[in-house]
Amino acid sequence: MWRRCLLPGIAGWLAAVTPAMAFIAYVSNEKSNTVSVIDTEKWTVTNTIKVGQRPRGIEFTRNGKFVLVAVGDDDRIEVIDTATQQVVDSLPSGPDPELFTQDAAGKILYVANENDNTVTIIDLEKRVRVGDVQVGVEPEGMAISPDGKILINTSETTNMAHFIDTATRQIVANVLVDARPRFAAFKRDSSELWVSSEIGGTVSIIDPAKRIITGKIEFSIPGLRREAIQPVGIGITKDGKTAFIALGPANRIAIVDANTHKVTKYLLVGQRVWHMAFTPDEKYLLVTNGVSNDVSVIDVAAQKVIKTIQVGELPWGITFAQP
């Protein structure tokens, strides 16, 4: 009798007090020209950092010491020191930087410059521009293959995923996808490259070796027009089994079985859901809701929205330090 009461009691007490790992998320607010800092222990905004005009793409440096944020209307990338949570430097990015990615060593930064159809290559240590690659019209999505050999850039009006050899900096293949490709993500095992098409309303599954489309994820939500379903951000779990796709003005996250490429569930989040980031332990997924000015927290295992955190105006990108 005693045992039965005691054990669940202790187990419950232990679960309650075992401190969850606290992580810090940085969220770019496109309209307010700020970056919100979220503490996942308290699930609140602990600081708001003033940055340049129109912050969008945001990512931790590989060493976790800095956060880079593209401030498009100021034509540069600002560097936030995570120790002081202040802007300490900026990088020459080329005009109107939006999204960017780094090589595995964290030495080279590849930036999509929407205004002049180029991908700019920046040496992060020397902080200089070391080259450009001419791509299609309105470059946007950026991803680097897990082995670091191929850089993917998507161009929104050309509707392609460009495969760029990072050694020669030449385009080696182009894959035509549906209209307005916004975001690209590799599975960790390099078996698949996913590209979201905002206006086309699909996610293309590309075989990175053959460089052809092998499948497409389509979405259908009862009561919603096809035009309102606009996939943008993609998050694939490290084990490559589950993916989360932000559907923009459909105000939903699609949960996809990453093996069968079938949607298993839609989660209602905030308005115009855009980009996302997992906590490093992958317990939670945070998604930015542009129009409702907040971030939804999704419990990854339970596949449920558990919290909403108010941030700045038009939250766009989000990043966590990877341990």
Partner 1 sequence: MIRQLVGVIGISLLASYALAADPVEVGIGYLGQAGVRSKLSLVEQPSENDGIAGARLAIEDNNTTGKFLNQRFYLEEVRLKDGEDIAKAATALASRNGFIIADLPAEALLKASDALRGSKTVLLNAGSTDDRLREQDCRTNVIHVAPTRSMLADALAQYLVWKQWKRWLLVVGSHEADKLYADALRRAAARFGAKIVQERVFEDAGGARRTDSGVTLIQRQMPVFTQQAPAYDVLVAADESEVFASYLPYRTWDPRPIAGSAGLVPTSWDAAHDQWGAIQIQNRFIKLNSRRMTARDMQAWTAARMIGEATSRINSGDPKSVFDFLNGADFSVAAFKGQRLTLRDWNLQLRQPILLVDGRMVVSVSPQEGFLHQHSELDTLGVDRPETKCKLNR
Contacts with partner 1 by CB under 8 A lie at 96, 114-115, 117, 136-138, 155-160, 162, 171, 174, 176, 179-180, 198-201, 225, 227-228, 230, 249
Question: What one-letter code names the amino acid at 111?
Answer: V
Q: What's the closest the beta carbon of residue 88 comes to partner 1, in angstroms?
A: 28
Name the residue nearer to partner 1 (CB basis): 228 or 263: 228
Q: What's the closest the beta carbon of residue 195 comes to partner 1, in angstroms?
A: 15
Q: What's the closest the beta carbon of residue 271 comes to partner 1, in angstroms?
A: 12
Name the residue nearer to partner 1 (CB basis): 54 or 187: 54
Q: What's the closest the beta carbon of residue 267 comes to partner 1, in angstroms?
A: 22
Name the residue nearer to partner 1 (CB basis): 153 or 319: 153
Question: What is the gyration radius of the CA atoms in the chain, in angstroms?
Answer: 20
Half-sphere exposure for 234 (CA within 13 Å, toward CB):
31
Tokens of 149: 């050999």
Supply φ then ψ for residue 280, to 5 degrees. Answer: -55, -30
Supply φ then ψ for residue 73, to 5 degrees. Answer: -75, -10
Q: What's the closest the beta carbon of residue 133 comes to partner 1, in angstroms?
A: 12
The most distant pair of C-alpha atoms in the chain lies apart, rounded to whole Å, by 74
Q: Are 279 and 290 in contact (CB under 8 A)?
A: no
**Residue where the block lists tokens 């595995």:** 104
Q: What's the closest the beta carbon of residue 239 comes to partner 1, in angstroms?
A: 34
Residues 6+ away with beta carbon under 8 Å from 149: 165, 166, 167
d(CA 26, CA 28): 7
Q: Strand, helix or coil at 96?
A: coil
Name the residue nearer to partner 1 (CB basis): 38 or 160: 160
Q: Are 303 and 256 in contact (CB under 8 A)?
A: no
Name the residue nearer to partner 1 (CB basis): 138 or 294: 138
Q: What's the closest the beta carbon of residue 140 comes to partner 1, in angstroms?
A: 9
Query: DSSP assignment, residue 145?
Result: -
Half-sphere exposure for 49 (CA within 13 Å, toward CB):
25
Q: What's the closest the beta carbon of residue 157 comes to partner 1, in angstroms?
A: 6
Name the residue nearer to partner 1 (CB basis): 158 or 242: 158
Name the residue nearer to partner 1 (CB basis): 124 or 171: 171
Query: Alpha carbon 193 to chain centroid distance?
Result: 14
Residues 6+ away with beta carbon under 8 Å from 260: none
Name the residue nearer to partner 1 (CB basis): 107 or 210: 210
Supply φ then ψ for residue 290, to 5 degrees. Answer: -60, -55
Q: Are 94 and 79 in contact (CB under 8 A)?
A: no
Tokens of 134: 């001419």
